[in-house]
Amino acid sequence: MLLIRIKMPSLSEKTWCEIEEITEKGVIIPIGSIEQHGPHLPLSTDSLLVERIAEEIGERTDCLVIPTIRFGISEEHMDFKGTITLSPESFKAMVFDICTSLQRHGFNRQYIINYHGGNKRYLIELIPKVKEMGINVSLHRVLGRLGKFDHAGEVETSLMFYLFPEQVKEDKIERFRYKIPEGNEWRTKDYSETGVIGEAIDASAERGKQYFDKIVNELVGEIQND
């Protein structure tokens, strides 16, 4: 399937003179993670996907997009090598500093697009503090809207097949054994020896396109109505 890559409206690619002229625009802050995604997807899966989603949303809403925050709260995956996690304090401080830095240059409409579920709790805790600074900030989730628990399973693998097929190790995909986690405090290794939670074997680029379109359409609607 041929994908046409669009030009991302990136804040980081502009000069400070150009930024001075466009502070009325909204700013999208994509947040992902660096964590295990089974034997077939890269550690950067969350960050790759949220960046591509943010690019599309930026094009359709005329918002700038800042560089993706690639590190998050991934303690549940730390039994798998390569995963990097921040402490909640470090994570919240980093996001707060980014939001306030943008505000100091006149960007008061900020849209956080969070991909990794482990970040959600701490972003919810942080939002009131950011708003106290006079920033019009809103938090938008990605995968939760698809109605199923999935980590490197059918949903994420489909998205990767559609957007980054060269990054998928298709020969490593099988019908993995797993259980759906229960409660709020859990470790992935207790539910899956491979780190995969979901039916990756059922993934396809066609399904990935459907998921991508649904995610983007809903997020564009939320931002436009914010």
**Tens digits of pLDDT across the chain (226 residues):** 444 444 546 888 888 888 887 878 899 999 999 999 999 999 999 999 999 999 999 999 999 999 999 999 999 999 999 999 999 999 999 999 999 999 999 999 999 999 999 999 999 999 999 999 999 999 999 988 888 899 999 999 999 999 999 999 999 999 999 999 987 789 999 999 999 999 999 999 999 999 999 999 999 999 999 8
Residue with tokens 């996907």: 49
Please report whether residue 114 resides in a domain. Answer: yes
23 vs 224: CA distance, rounded Å = 17
116 vs 72: CA distance, rounded Å = 8
Please report whether residue 152 resides in a domain. Answer: yes
8 vs 17: CA distance, rounded Å = 19
Please report whether residue 68 resides in a domain. Answer: yes
74 vs 58: CA distance, rounded Å = 27
55 vs 74: CA distance, rounded Å = 24
Residues 155, 198: contact at Cβ < 8 Å? yes
Structure tokens at 65: 């997009």
The pTM of this model reads 0.93
CATH value at residue 194: 3.40.50.10310
Q: What share of the chain is helix, strand, coil (3-state, %, to 5)?
A: 45, 15, 40
Domain limits at 90? 26-224
Please report whether residue 91 resides in a domain. Answer: yes
Please report whether residue 14 resides in a domain. Answer: no
Please report whether residue 216 resides in a domain. Answer: yes
Please report whether residue 92 resides in a domain. Answer: yes
Please report whether residue 161 resides in a domain. Answer: yes
195 vs 77: CA distance, rounded Å = 8
User: What is the biggest distance separating any 2 CA atoms in the chain, rounded to whole angstroms?
Assistant: 54
Residue with tokens 């993995």: 176
Q: Total domain count for the chain?
A: 1
